[in-house]
Every structure is written in C-alpha cells, then in structure tokens.
Structure 1
Amino acid sequence: MVLQDKLGRCVNYLRLSVTDRCNLRCMYCVTKDFTHIPHPDILRYEEMLRLIDLAASMNINKLRLTGGEPFARKGFMEFVSKIMARHGDMDLRITSNGTLIEPLIPELSRLGVKRLNISLDTLDRKTFEEVTGRDHLTDVLGTIEACIRAGIRVKVNAVAMKGINDRELGAFIDFARNNPIDMRFIEFMPMGDDTKSDSRFWSADDILAQASEFANLVPVKRTKENRGPARMYSIEGGQGRLGLISPVSSHFCGTCNRLRITSDGYLRTCLFSDHTYKLRGILRNPSLGDDTLKKVIAAATRDKPLGYHLLESRKGCEGVCGTQMSAIGG
C-alpha cells in the first residue's frame, strides 16, 4: 500500500512523539498553562511498535522519533533497539535537546543510529538558560562533539528568534564552519495561544542576507538525499553547512511527505491543522485489528490539507494552530 493524498503527494515519512515530557522549558514549546498528558493516555511502546510495523507496510521508509524529549522516557533505548531489529532498513532519526544523551552515544552508534537532530537555539550560556529555563549548554555541546567522534551525522536546529538569537548569527556560522554539521535555522512558528510570536519572527530571507556578511555561501543542489524542507548552503572553506527552513514565509506544502502521531495517539496530517484522527482507541480495542488502523491512516492521508491555506486564514497574533508544540512533537 502506498499512502497518497488527493493532490498526488506520496507520504513516506512518519514523525512519532514518544512523550510530551521534557527536562527543559523552552519558551516557544511550553506555555504558562501547559499541563502534561495523563500517563494512561500515553501510548505504550508496544502500541508504538505496532504503528511502526503498520507504517512500514504502507511504504513509510523514514521515521523520526521526537518528544518532548524522547530520551527522558524510561526504556527509550530498548525501544530504539527493537525498532532497529525489526526495521533495520528504515531511515531512523531522533530529535533531541541533547542534554541527556552524551553517555549513550556509543550505544546509539552500536545500534546503527546514524543521524541525530539536536536542538540548540543559542551558543551563549546566559541566553540558553533564558530560552530553556535550564543551564545545560555545555551538555548539549558535549553531545554534539561526542556524535561527531562516533561518526553520527548531526543536524543542529535553531529556532530563529529576533531579539533573542539574531545577534549570534556570526557565531553560529563559525560553529558550522568549524564542525561537520548542518546548522539549520527554522522560522519561528506561533503555536497555541502565544501572542508575542509576531515580534520574534525572523524570516529565512533576512537570515540568508545577513549570513552572507559572515561567509561565502554556495547553494547546495537538491538531490535524492537532499529533498527535505531546508534550503542548504555550503560554507566556503568550512566543514559544515547552513540550512534555512521557512514554513511561514515560503511554504513547502506542495512537497510535504509526512504524517505525525502524537504521544497520546492522535494522527495529524498537517502541522498547521488541529484536525486529528484518534488511533489510541483503535489500538486498545481488541475487536479492531490492523486493517481498521490502515483504513483510518489511508483515509486521513487522502484528506491531507495544504497548510499554507490555513496560514492565510490566520488572524493577527493567532497561532498557526491551537495546539502547543510540546503536545504535537514538532
């Protein structure tokens, strides 16, 4: 079975959130009214493995595990091990804040994990604490170094925020110049009830214009291995690359190939839409089998919307959707 929507877009990428818990409190992810999903509502690892098995049978060949912070959930490494044993040919990637995993890097490498996305919004210790609520910058930098030593490819993701990390652009470019990483800036997306977001917005085009003052950037031609949403640029004379992801100013909805499943078992076909499909009830109903799950996933995919239409209907400082990022999984 191949998952395809009414617009002809084929879906082969699943983002699965394993928890909404996190040891950080990033300003763009957790709002003041944040409450954790009740534990009984969180999918069990066995249920997630069942969904991954189904996804693989529906032509999903790329899987990203997200959170919250996935490494904060007990038993996560065993879960990764089971995925790799059952789906060794799947392109497995993990998104993490990088604060908990430096000692685990050798084991991740042994299991065959070849790629990690590390969130890092600043290289300044004081700003890091302001953004995340915690003083863990040295832990994140240590994780990145450990990944590089272990041969694990690292993409460093920074949420671009005016007035917060825009003054560090030169330092970030130097970081990419001196390390074999992809340093990617993601446009700030207003989520939930965040009403301060518009003043923080720093567009990808503005970042590119400013970045050109610090380095000679050469556009990277898109290939089969480079089909993601990021516009990539090599840094002349550098080891790493610069990437720009522009979900707000220059959408990539026409080539979107992903589905999201939240840690409490809701299927989302578009980050900018609050329309969801409840899979948890099906998973826990012994009278409903895998065929029912497949039918729901296929039907949801057929109706996958174009997110930019939803953005166009946004008013003032409204979020791009009503759900905060920590509950979605990014």
Structure 2
Amino acid sequence: MLYDNHGRKINYVRLAVTDRCNLRCYYCMPENGIVYMKRKDLLSFEEMERLMRIFSELGISKLRITGGEPFVRKGIMEFLEKMSAIPKIEQIHITTNGSFTKDYVRQLENLNVHSINLSLDSLDRQRFLDITRRDMFDTVMETFHELLKSSIRVKINMVVMEGRNIDDIRPMLELTRDHDVSVRFIEEMPFNGSGGNPTFWPMKKILDYVRQQYPDIEKLPDPEASTSQNYQIPGYTGSFGIIAAYTRTFCGTCNRIRITPQGTLKTCLYDNGGLSFRDILRSGASDEEIAQTLIKAMGRRYKDGFEAEKDRGASSPVSESMATIGG
C-alpha cells in the first residue's frame, strides 16, 4: 500500500483526461473560456494507461476520470475499456456535465463503471443557462434520467452560489424523495480562472439552510475518507451530502492525488503542482523509476489544503480554472 508522510493511505487517483469543456460555468472559468493546452502537451491515452498500471501496483484501486469534460476527448470510450481491464483498479468513477454522456450510458454500465457524478447546479432552465452560459439543460436532464435507468450509482454535484442557485437547494433535495441518488452541495472555490469566491457559502451555512427546510434530517455514517458529510431526509429514498471544499475539514483523511491533463501530479487540490509525470514518461524512465518517483512525492505531502495554499506564496495565488486541474 501507498502511504504519505502523515500516515494517510493513498488509494485514489483523479485523472483529468482533458482541459477542454463545452460549458462555461461561472465558478470554473471566465465567459470567454481559458487558453487550452496544445494536444502535444497533454498526456496521451497510452501514457495515462501506463501511469495507471504502475500506480495500481502501488495500491491505487480507485480511479476517477475527470476533465474539463471527459467526453469531449476523442477515444474516451476505448480508454475507459482499457482502464476497466487493469486488474487492480477496483472502481472507476466519472465526473461529467452530462452534455455528451447519454448515448454512452449502456456502454458505461457494461464496463462496470461504479458511479457517475453529474455536475448540475440548477433544476431551473434559466438559472442553468445563467450559470453554464450554454443552453443545454434538456440534454443534461435526459442524461440524468437515462442514468437512473441504469445500474450505475448516480450523484449530483451542485456548487452552492449566493445570488445564483440558492433557490435550487430544496428542489435538489426533492430529487432524493423518489430517486436513489446522492445530491452533494459543494462549497464554491476560487478555481474559476480569475481567483476569489465572493459568493461563498460555508458548509455550516448550507446545512443550516437545509435544516430550516427539513428540521428532522438524519446524519448518516460517512464512508472512510469521505469528502462529504452525509444526511438523509426521513422517508426519502436518496441522500445528500455537503462537501467542505473551501473550508477543507476533510484533509486529515485525504486518500487522493490528482493527475492534471498535462501530467502534473497534485498531491493536494490547493498545491501549485511541479512534478511532471509527462516529462518523466517522455524521458524514457522505467516503470520502477516512475513508481519510486510517486513514492518519494508521497513522502513530502502537505498536511492539508491550507498548508499547500500558503506554500504557493503571494506571487502564485489560487486562481487557475478547475478545468486545468481536474474537477
């Protein structure tokens, strides 16, 4: 097994396969988008496969595919087939905005994809348009209903934003009345391509708001290394959780690392990166050298997101788009 210098077991990789996205969500990137990386600067699928095979031999058993929007990258289904064939990868999860996912649901089910996190910040067509700057609400909802017909576990990720989608909190919770879904309310972060999160609602404020609507909510046990604190409304089929992505209350049990689209290792969402597995791969390094590089990196991992952000310094504040990191 792979452990960091704080004794935390690392068994989960979030792999961003592209920085490109067809939406322009307010909390992720500016309206005119970001400067995308050149194709040659991205990891190839072959390089990603090699990394994941090496990492799996070190104890990585859970893989989340992210972007950008992963389904905009050509060849994604063939890549997922290869990931599902790695013996020691026990779970594959995907985070998607749902705009290109509907036609792949049956294939994903056949690949035994464990869960899909659907980024959906509003159930109101106009608010969806205002947040994403794209008119794709119907398409995303079609994907949602197609997923409900499958055996894939469905989660909805909603970033909570003052003045934009607070009125969606109750409708989102009502989705859990009859559907076995998990709605997760996420604290807004400054990874929006410009920095700052003036509309930030902390976890406590979100929970207090929910309790005003549903005073008798029940606390559920949180899975090991869970990023969310989880609850259920009595009598409802599904559940909901709150992810303290900005107040960072879950760092002490963090079991995950990230690989960005260009192959940079991020041992914490808030760190500045620096170790390029792309360059190491392309230098001709052996599998053993790559494995040892990851082991050494785990020996100097930040204690938490605050320490990682502080180490960036004033000259490099958190401001990059989440699409360049991997959502």
TM range (shorter): over 0.9
The CA deviation at 1:111 is 1.6
Task: Give percent identity, aligned residues only.
Answer: 36
Matched, 1:182 2:182: yes
Counterpart of 1:36 in structure 2 is 36
Give unpaired runs (5+ residues) of structure 1.
none
The CA deviation at 1:192 is 6.0
Change (3 A) 1:111 1:313: closer
Is the 1:105–1:147 contact (alpha carbons within 8 Å) kept by the matching residues of 2?
yes
**1: CA distance between counterparts of 2:308 and 2:15?**
23
Change (3 A) 1:161 1:192: closer
Matched, 1:10 2:5: no
Give unpaired runs (5+ residues) of structure 2.
none
Of 212, 232, 235, the residue aligned with 2:233 is 235
Aligned residue runs from structure 1 range 129-278, under 5 A = 129-191=129-191, 194-195=194-195, 197-198=197-198, 200-215=199-214, 216-224=216-224, 227-278=225-276
**2: CA distance between counterparts of 1:51 and 1:312?**
29
Of 301, 309, 327, the residue aligned with 1:304 is 301
Matched, 1:93 2:93: yes
The CA deviation at 1:178 is 2.9
**1: CA distance between counterparts of 2:173 and 2:222?**
21
The CA deviation at 1:321 is 2.3
Change (3 A) 1:184 1:294: same
Q: For each residue in 1:204-236, what CA deviation from the matched residue of structure 2 results, as whole angstroms up to 9, or x when unmatched?
A: 111111111222310001345xx4110000111
Change (3 A) 1:149 1:33: closer
The CA deviation at 1:297 is 1.0
Is the 1:232–1:242 contact (alpha carbons within 8 Å) kept by the matching residues of 2?
yes
The CA deviation at 1:42 is 0.9
**Partner of 1:86: helix, strand, or coil?**
coil
- Per mean C-alpha deviation after superposition, the further-off stretch among 28-37 and 146-155 is 28-37
Q: For each residue in 1:67-119, what CA deviation from the matched residue of structure 2 results, as whole angstroms up to 9, or x when unmatched?
A: 00101110101111111122375211011001111111111111211310110
**1: CA distance between counterparts of 2:190 and 2:165?**
17
Q: For each residue in 1:3-59, what CA deviation from the matched residue of structure 2 results, as whole angstroms up to 9, or x when unmatched?
A: 222111111110000011111111111235710011111111110000110110010
**2: CA distance between counterparts of 1:48 and 1:166?**
38
The CA deviation at 1:149 is 0.7
**2: CA distance between counterparts of 1:180 and 1:42?**
37
Is the 2:217–2:231 contact (alpha carbons within 8 Å) kept by the matching residues of 1?
yes
Normalization by structure 2: what TM-score? 0.93
Change (3 A) 1:321 1:222: same
**1: CA distance between counterparts of 2:191 and 2:70?**
21
**2: CA distance between counterparts of 1:319 and 1:213?**
39
- Per mean C-alpha deviation after superposition, the further-off stretch among 174-183 and 305-314 is 305-314
Is the 2:226–2:250 contact (alpha carbons within 8 Å) kept by the matching residues of 1?
no
**Partner of 1:15: helix, strand, or coil?**
strand
Question: What is the number of residues matched between the two proteins?
Answer: 324
Is the 1:218–1:234 contact (alpha carbons within 8 Å) kept by the matching residues of 2?
yes
**Partner of 1:296: helix, strand, or coil?**
helix
**1: CA distance between counterparts of 2:301 and 2:147?**
36
- Per mean C-alpha deviation after superposition, the further-off stretch among 148-157 and 23-32 is 23-32
Change (3 A) 1:205 1:313: farther
Normalization by structure 1: what TM-score? 0.92
Change (3 A) 1:121 1:315: farther
Change (3 A) 1:148 1:196: same
Moved over 3 A (4+): 310-316
